[in-house]
Structure 1
């Protein structure tokens, strides 16, 4: 027999139970280890796609039930993982929510670029202008879900500076892009291109929410967009 802690030799006992520790020090170490068991080493990192899987779960919860329902337990259940896996990849729930929003922004940009690049007349500034504006509208399931998630996040960002920072870029990149496309497409001399770009982006964003609520139809929105484009663009020769 040897000590359970240090594996050293045991001193024989003259009476009672046989000893299992060689000294009081080893006995104290054993007691502390029972009260505070060592933390196991972390398992091998999950595949890189696990963060994406968890982020998509946040999107679905936000779109279907609202961001207030996105607890760590609910997110884990939606993603099909344990809460420990969620906590392994994200320092806390707030970090997860911010990261999921950043992921959604990147996903929207990637999909928009793919759709615009696939256009037959992608080199025509007027075609690019219309396509850029239509990316703000929920014209398919992916964009409908994305807009619902963005709306849930936007409401929360009004009281959360970290989420607000994801929405509030320095400058106005989308409005600047639309202004450049208006100019390239042939703006009428009498208009203020920057103001018209602001109006188009803000107006079409609002139309997207109307489409979600079915307050307007796609045909109605497209007629209104056509009206404004015809108003600000010079007639083609």
Structure 2
């Protein structure tokens, strides 16, 4: 009986190979031949699943988001963190920072896609543009819950506060990547900002 092929799994396998090549050498170096070699498959198979490099790049972008979710979801779903509030916010924002090998790779990849999207209309029109909005929407909901609990001052605008803390987080991440801030500095400065807005951790 012929072996049943999981095509979605095969696509993810190839896209993950693309991301590994891109993390090490840059998206510009991730051609079909390089991706096939990294994935351990033929170039023909890569072309079977992705007719163009653009299709492969778009699927790879989706995998960046999925890998981040896979990284944070187990802890968010474990019940260790409260369903809303300061601890949950700090955990998710800290997870976006390049603080270890895995998060650094995802951060570099996301920045590469950002740079490419500035000149590639197809990429700019993809979920890349809505992913940051999804994080900001989630953060606004969390901050409104903090406001209802008395942690965020009533005069503070949760929408503006979400934009501010996201801008801070991106700035810290870029500083860590450039070697201008240590990972400990990034954690500390993010925590200081959240202490100022929401009070210290319980």
TM interval, short-chain normalised: 0.7 to 0.9
| Partner of residue 114 from structure 2, selected from 150, 154, 158 | 154
Report the counterpart of residue 117 of structure 1 in structure 2: 77
Is the aligned partner of 1:83 residue 2:43? yes
Residue 58 of structure 1 and its aligned partner are, at CA, apart by 0.7
d(CA) in 1 for partners of 2:175, 2:132: 26
The 8 Å contact of residues 188 and 234 in structure 1, kept in 2 or not, is answered as no
Q: TM-score, normalised by structure 2?
A: 0.85
Q: How many positions carry a matched residue from both structures?
A: 195
**In 1, are the aligned partners of 2:61 and 2:128 still within 8 Å (CA)?**
no
Aligned equivalent of 1:187: 152
Question: 1:212 aligned to 170, 177, 186, which one?
Answer: 177
How far residue 44 of structure 1 moved from its aligned partner, in angstroms, is 8.4
SS of the residue corresponding to residue 121 of structure 1 reads: coil
- Say whether 1:173 aligns with 2:134: yes
Aligned-partner Cα distance in 1 for 2:24–2:45: 23
Aligned equivalent of 1:14: none
Residue 198 of structure 1: SS of its match in structure 2?
Answer: helix
Normalized per residue, the structure richer in helix is 2
SS of the aligned residue for 2:57 comes to helix
Distance (whole Å) between structure 1 residues aligned to residue 155 and residue 133 of structure 2: 23
Deviation at 1:209, TM superposition (A): 2.1
Gapped regions of structure 2 (runs ≥ 5): none
Q: 1:121 to 1:171 in 2, by over 3 A?
A: closer
- Deviation at residue 119 of structure 1 after TM alignment: 6.2
Offset of 1:233 from its aligned partner? Answer: 2.1
Structure 1: runs of 5 or more not aligned: 1-42
1:221 maps onto 2:186 in alignment:
yes
TM-score normalised by the chain length of structure 1: 0.74
Q: Relative to 1, partners in 2 of residues 1:141 and 1:118: Cα closer, same or farther, differing over 3 Å?
A: farther
